[in-house]
Amino acid sequence: MKKSPRSEIPRKAVYRLSVYLRCLQRLKQNGLRTVSSEALARAAGVKSTQLRKDLTYFGQFGTRGLGYDVEQLAQMITDTLGTNSLQPVILVGVGNLGSALLSYRGFEQEGFGIIGAFDLEPAKVKRGRGGPPLHGMEKLFEIIRAARVKMAIITVPAAAAQAVANQLVAAGVTGILNFAPIVLHVPEDVTVNSVNLAIELENLSYFIQT
């Protein structure tokens, strides 16, 4: 298997891989077997040359004159992203946003299972029925280790986020999806993706000014 040097692949290209995958899934549902870079790129909202360039970072998957096999390309993307097997994920901070995300089913649809939620005061949290078990913070380390959890979602207030991140990293987490409005400092081998909903709106606010 050709293992490309991971560091030379643009982060954005990896991100777009996920977008392509969504489009391929839709195409498959519509019964399409093959697709050209032109058509897939249009669906994904990018230029066809960019799509082809992105794919070459990971290998060669097309047939010249014909296009890409929908099924096969989707398979290679899930292989590459590592979303074949179900990844266990935990969530820390069951406040407004945290409980919101717990009731959101969108993660599971894509192969991620939230196997546990953590909060400083689990007793105070109002929980709907269903959903993952809720623990106090003292269980964090133990559960992460036991389930070999590599990915975590942080939805605690800004003031607590860095401390939580430190605990997660110490327990073995190497991927963090951070919703706290703060820049997290972590070791090099840990990846942080930050989503800040207020900033997304604020950003729009700039562009709608006439």
Q: Which residues here bind DNA, judged by CB under 7 A?
A: 10-13, 36-38, 46-50, 52-53, 55-56, 60-68
As a whole number of Å, the end-to-end CA separation of the chain is 52
Question: Distance between CA 135 and CA 120 in Å, rounded?
Answer: 9
Residues that contact a second copy, how many (by CB under 8 A): 59
We find the least distance from the C-beta atom of residue 195 to a second copy, in angstroms, to be 6
Question: Distance between CA 70 and CA 33 in Å, rounded?
Answer: 5
Binding residue (CB under 8 A) for a second copy from 34, 48, 50, 80: 80
We find the least distance from the C-beta atom of residue 170 to DNA, in angstroms, to be 28
In residues, how long is the chain? 210
Enumerate the β-bridge partners of residue 178: 154, 194
Strand (E) positions, 120-210? 134-136, 151-154, 175-178, 191-194
Which SS3 state, helix, strand or coil, does residue 202 take?
Answer: helix
Q: CB nearer to a second copy: give 78 or 167.
A: 78
Q: CB nearer to DNA: give 48 or 162.
A: 48
Instruction: Tell me if 175 contacts a second copy by CB under 8 A.
Output: yes
Binding residue (CB under 8 A) for a second copy from 70, 109, 130, 136: 109
Q: Which does 19 bind (CB under 5 to 8 A by kind): DNA, a second copy, none?
A: a second copy
Q: Which does 48 bind (CB under 5 to 8 A by kind): a second copy, DNA, none?
A: DNA
Q: Which two tokens stand for residue 110?
A: 């894509």
Instruction: Tell me if 163 contacts a second copy by CB under 8 A.
Output: no
Binding residue (CB under 8 A) for a second copy from 50, 107, 132, 139: 107
Q: CB nearer to a second copy: give 61 or 107.
A: 107
Q: Which two tokens stand for residue 113?
A: 């299972």
Exposure letters 95-130 (e unless 16+ CB within 10 A, then b) = eebbbebbeeeebeeeebebbbbbbbebeeeeeeee
Question: Distance between CA 122 and CA 136 in Å, rounded?
Answer: 6
Binding residue (CB under 8 A) for a second copy from 125, 151, 169, 171: 151
Site for a second copy, rule CB under 8 A? 14-15, 17-19, 21-22, 26, 43-45, 80-83, 87, 89, 96-97, 99-101, 103-107, 109-110, 112, 150-151, 153, 158, 174-177, 181-183, 185, 191, 193, 195-209
